[in-house]
Structure 1
Amino acid sequence: MSITRRHFLAAGAAATTLSLWPRFAQASGRDDTRLLVVLLRGGLDGLHAVVPTGDPQHAALRGRLAVADARRLDADFALHPALAFSHDLYARREWMPVLAVAPPYRQRSHFEAQDNLESGTAATGGASGGWLNRCVAALPSSRALSVSTVMPLILRGPAEATTWSPPLPDDVNPILLQRLQTLYAADPHLAHPFEQAVAAQGMQAGGNVARLPQAMAAAARFMAANGGPRVGFVENTGWDTHAQQGPVLARKLAELDQGLRQFHDGIGEAWSRTVVVVTTEFGRTAAVNGTGGTDHGTGTLAMLAGGAVAGGRVAGDWPGLSPSQLNEGRDLRATADLRSVFKGVVGDHLGIARTTLDARVFPDSGGTTAMKDLLRG
């Protein structure tokens, strides 16, 4: 069987990644916990993923964007039908949404919000390292893996971390196409030829083509290996849904759900000692806009999955959707700092002391307490 140069280089990258961790064979083995953080870049509409069916304002705000056939979670909330495996995990008490959360940054810039979420600081801008790297630095003989083309801010820092990019079947990296889209869209002569080139690749310039399941499957293979990385990170783009949100999120949420299934199956027996944290930089407006989408907002949700999660319930302090309850009269008000969720997970799950979390992992965050009861006792 022949192998293209592209796939040969990709296969070599996997082997090189393993060689970057020469102490794998000397690690403590598979009897420790695992943490995977999944960042959905673009701002997931939490009201579309976990539907507040019991809120009397919801139907009027969403109108034609309302989710049909949502899967019941409890008397007040239901899950988007594309999240079928997540619903199964919820029934097994291994999946849980945490509602009305946001990073300390409460404005509406993707770049500033992502920077704030990844740095783990209260301030925006200027950070050179990320909170997940500082978690790894606080653990003895641990290392981290980012399934990405470049090292994200969340894993930059002194602790041992590396990146791995899975082989892609297409001739052009879709992430590169997405980044080039903004550049070409501003040129009246090149915008149309660029869109034609994207169409010829069978892709949409606004997002990935089922990359998330592949990335999460790859993370599982590495993290399930004897002495593999204890901490993993996966990112995914295409969650900025200003128009035609219904079909876009039906596809994207199905990819997330498939990715969670791939990770569950791939990590094997270590699932019982694993937590997956799915997060995003902010939410969307409560009301649908004129193009069938939603605009940048504040409050959103986090999703926790894994055998170590105390799931089967809806967590978080729901603020309500009436005009007086909305943030600035337009979007879900955040009632909890995302760092509270992160602290509630990594403190118990990775065994990091509270003082270390407050001072080093999330600097000067002593006033942000860890959310309780997220994990099994």
Structure 2
Amino acid sequence: MDRRKFLIGGGLLGCSAAASPLITPVAFASAPWDARLVVIVLRGAMDGLDVVRPVGDRHFAELRPSLADERGIPLDSFYAMHPRLEPLAPMWDAGELAFVHAVSTPYRDKRSHFDGQDLLEAGMPDLESGVRDGWLNRLMQVVPGVEAETAYSIGRERMLILRGAARTSSWAPDTRLELSPATEQLLEHLYHDDVLFRDASADAIAIAADVAESDEMGDGVGNGRNVDLARFAAQRLAGETRIASFSLGGWDTHNRQQRSIRRALRDLSDCLLTLKQDLGDVWGKTAVVCMTEFGRTARENGSRGTDHGTGGAMIMAGGAIRGGRVYGDWPGLADRDLYAGRDLMPTRDVRAYAGWLMRDLFGVAGSAVEQAIFPGVELGGDPRLLL
């Protein structure tokens, strides 16, 4: 068996396939405005309670005895940022980084990565709507003068978020053999007793580990496939492109979360820092929004990880963002405050925040957001996300 074909073609199965960081396209579009929007889909369900920690809630440490013992970076008197995001602290201090807590899509209870991601990217209230275009594409359909950027098409998929009638372009970097810890554990468990595939699986994991180690040999930002995504996006955004979208995997942290989430946070941090560095003056006109399909359980599990949940967090960055603050209405972590007795209770639709960004960045009418781009969403009060 060809070990690399095994890894790329058949090694990613089940839950971890949805969080795979192996291959992702970047989609682009130009438009008749000067502001820039970058949407990063965090595949695998980011644990918002770990990324931006409500340390001021007395129940937080009780629910997470091992996950809460690592000291975070204070953001204010109530919240602390995961220590792996320390490189972004200057961005927070400069008012170019913000978080939104206790948000979710309308997706509930089934907690399937694939359905959750489809609903997130389609921007619809449910999966029965039959709509299979993406909300960023519908944004471009309601704005006149939108054109596709020069086409770059390498890879095996196209993101639903930009799929639709409006013309867009896509590009993907060369495939890198990198496995998340969750994928490694899945492969080890799946093929443990299979004589034919066990050795091939072990070889695949070893290959991925060797490549990942070589990618991390350099100093600072500038190495790895995810930085390539951000760097290419910045190149296009510095020109005629106005919208870019790509995904980052590795957020499915059922086991040993302290280890696995650090890698995902490193990738995200590197991407945001690369965008800021390479965009230069354009950074001041840019809003970056990072969204995930659902949150994770409030309680850590017996494997020192967290399982699929409901409410979570989103991350925003950019020179156009009114940063240095955590948005959202905090619901509390007492048993009576949890959704279904297990998850962070969502207090606002994640689509509402994305809708306000599009309204203020591009001058899209609120009625167009609520009826065409995000059917069924209620924008609610203006959170004043932009400067």
TM-score by length of 1: 0.83
Which residue of 216, 219, 223 corresponds with 2:233? Answer: 219
Deviations 1:95-121 (A, max 9, x none): 110000000112211111111111111
1:99 alignment partner, SS class: strand
Which residue of 58, 61, 79 corresponds with 2:60? Answer: 58
Return closer, same or farther for 1:332/1:141 CA change in 2, 3 Å cut-off.
same
Deviates more, 1:259-268 or 1:147-156: 147-156
Is structure 2 residue 135 aligned with structure 1 residue 123? no
Residue in structure 2 matched with residue 185 of structure 1 by the alignment: 190
Deviates more, 1:334-343 or 1:139-148: 139-148
Residue in structure 1 matched with residue 35 of structure 2 by the alignment: 33
Distance 2:148 2:271 in 1: 19
Residue in structure 2 matched with residue 306 of structure 1 by the alignment: 318
Contact 1:144 1:230 in 2 (8 A): no
1:222 alignment partner, SS class: helix
Residue in structure 1 matched with residue 139 of structure 2 by the alignment: 135
- Tell me how large the CA RMSD over aligned residues is: 3.0
Gaps of 5+ in 1: 1-16
Deviations 1:32-58 (A, max 9, x none): 000000011010000110011100001
Q: How does 1:1-377 map to 2 (within 5 A)?
A: 32-107=34-109, 108-125=111-128, 126-143=130-147, 149=155, 150-168=157-175, 170=176, 185=190, 188-203=194-209, 210-225=224-239, 227=240, 229-365=241-377, 367-369=378-380, 371-376=382-387
Distance 1:41 1:67 in 2: 26
1:279 alignment partner, SS class: strand
Question: Cα offset for 1:331?
Answer: 1.1
Return closer, same or farther for 1:323/1:205 CA change in 2, 3 Å cut-off.
farther
Distance 1:76 1:52 in 2: 6
* Letter paired with 2:49: L
Gaps of 5+ in 2: 1-25, 217-223
Contact 1:51 1:67 in 2 (8 A): no
Question: Cα offset for 1:188?
Answer: 2.7
Question: Cα offset for 1:329?
Answer: 1.1
Deviations 1:270-291 (A, max 9, x none): 1000000011011111111111
Deviations 1:71-111 (A, max 9, x none): 11000001011112322111111111000000011221111
Return closer, same or farther for 1:364/1:55 CA change in 2, 3 Å cut-off.
closer
Distance 2:178 2:145 in 1: 34
Return closer, same or farther for 1:203/1:133 CA change in 2, 3 Å cut-off.
farther
Contact 2:257 2:306 in 1 (8 A): yes
- What is the number of equivalent residue pairs in this alignment? 344
Q: Provide runs of 4+ in structure 1 moved above 6 Å.
A: 144-148
1:328 alignment partner, SS class: coil
